[in-house]
């Protein structure tokens, strides 16, 4: 395992993904568990399964869980339908109305908890559907999403996923995701669409991570990490994540670092030995 001091550059920037970490606990108990582990910032996939518009009681309960724990929400997925096997909804004709209904709800939740990023997973290719038509729909929906994010002072994030877990997802490269980012920014003129650089997904796809950082640093709006293979905590695989994070910082990225991994063994609280407690609290 890499020496803990190697991760000094993450200090003040860590945000723990509560959809994959502390998943052994009910959702509403995870913010307090993250706070007990020393974190002050967390991110979430869409936390209400396929519900585009949860009830007020559900939304209030989640808000209160974060506020009671003293935790800020750093980022939130827009309606992603991950629980139903989808990988986002922006390019899916059958989900388009639900996606648009979700936008003001997700934006309000994000704003109320201080989130600076909304992540819009692109959605899988649909058998029998015209890919060009899906891309056209995605651009329309991402344009709406970018405006919703802008209204709360947030960025819209667009992510590449790995081919093994998401073979039907069309964005498998950094260049492909950044091309969508550029199209959205051209359509809105806002410039708030950014690339979500997940080092694990890109590594699984065989990308040269140093080249990705050097080429696309100016487009990166969020970073997520897990080691490869396994998608576990740093030090369990072959990625030199400490060096990659240092390279990102040197390239000008100073934003959040999302810890989006599954513990290799044991509970989530036991998986943070690689990151000293004094480095876990966000600025």
Q: Does residue 88 contact residue 120 with C-beta atoms inside 8 Å?
A: yes
> Which neighbouring-strand residues pair with 42?
16, 73
Which of 43, 111, 207, 260 is catalytic? The answer is 260
Q: Does residue 16 contact residue 41 with C-beta atoms inside 8 Å?
A: yes
Max CA separation in the chain (angstroms): 52
Active site residue 111: no
Q: Does residue 79 contact residue 106 with C-beta atoms inside 8 Å?
A: yes
Active site residue 29: no
Structure tokens at 71: 């935790």
Which of 43, 111, 159, 207 is catalytic? The answer is 159
Say how far apart CA 226 and CA 198 lie, in whole Å: 8
Spell out the alpha helix ranges (H) of the chain: 30-36, 56-69, 96-112, 131-151, 174-188, 199-204, 209-216, 241-250
Where b means 16+ CB within 10 Å and e means fewer, 72-103 reads bbbbbbbbbbbeeebbbbbbbeebbebbbebb
Closest CA to 228 of 220, 240, 217, 216: 240
Active site positions, annotated: 159, 260
């Amino acid at each position: 395992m890499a020496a803990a001091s190697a991760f000094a550059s993450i200090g003040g920037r860590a945000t723990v993904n509560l959809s994959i970490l502390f998943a052994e606990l009910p959702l509403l108990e995870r913010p307090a568990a993250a706070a007990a582990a020393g974190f002050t910032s967390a991110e979430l996939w869409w936390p209400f399964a396929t519900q585009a518009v949860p009830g007020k009681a559900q939304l209030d309960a989640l808000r209160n869980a974060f506020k009671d724990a003293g935790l800020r929400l750093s980022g939130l997925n827009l309606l992603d339908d991950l629980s139903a096997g989808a990988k986002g909804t922006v390019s899916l004709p059958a989900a388009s109305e639900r996606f648009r209904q979700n936008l003001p709800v997700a934006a309000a939740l994000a704003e109320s908890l201080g989130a600076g990023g909304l992540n819009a997973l692109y959605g899988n290719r649909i058998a029998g559907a015209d890919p060009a038509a899906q891309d056209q729909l995605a651009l329309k929906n991402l344009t709406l999403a970018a405006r919703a994010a802008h209204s709360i002072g947030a960025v819209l994030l667009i992510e590449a996923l790995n081919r093994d877990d998401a073979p039907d997802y069309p964005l498998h490269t950094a260049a492909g995701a950044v091309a969508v980012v550029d199209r959205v920014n051209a359509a809105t003129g806002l410039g708030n669409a950014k690339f979500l650089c997940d080092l694990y997904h890109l590594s699984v796809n065989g990308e040269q991570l140093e080249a990705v950082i050097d080429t696309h640093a100016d487009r990166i709006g969020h970073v997520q990490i897990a080691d490869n293979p396994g998608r576990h905590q740093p030090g369990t695989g072959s990625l030199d994540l400490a060096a990659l994070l240092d390279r990102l910082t040197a390239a000008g990225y100073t934003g959040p670092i999302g810890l989006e991994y599954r513990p290799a063994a044991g509970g989530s609280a036991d998986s943070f030995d690689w990151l000293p407690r004094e480095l876990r609290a966000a600025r």
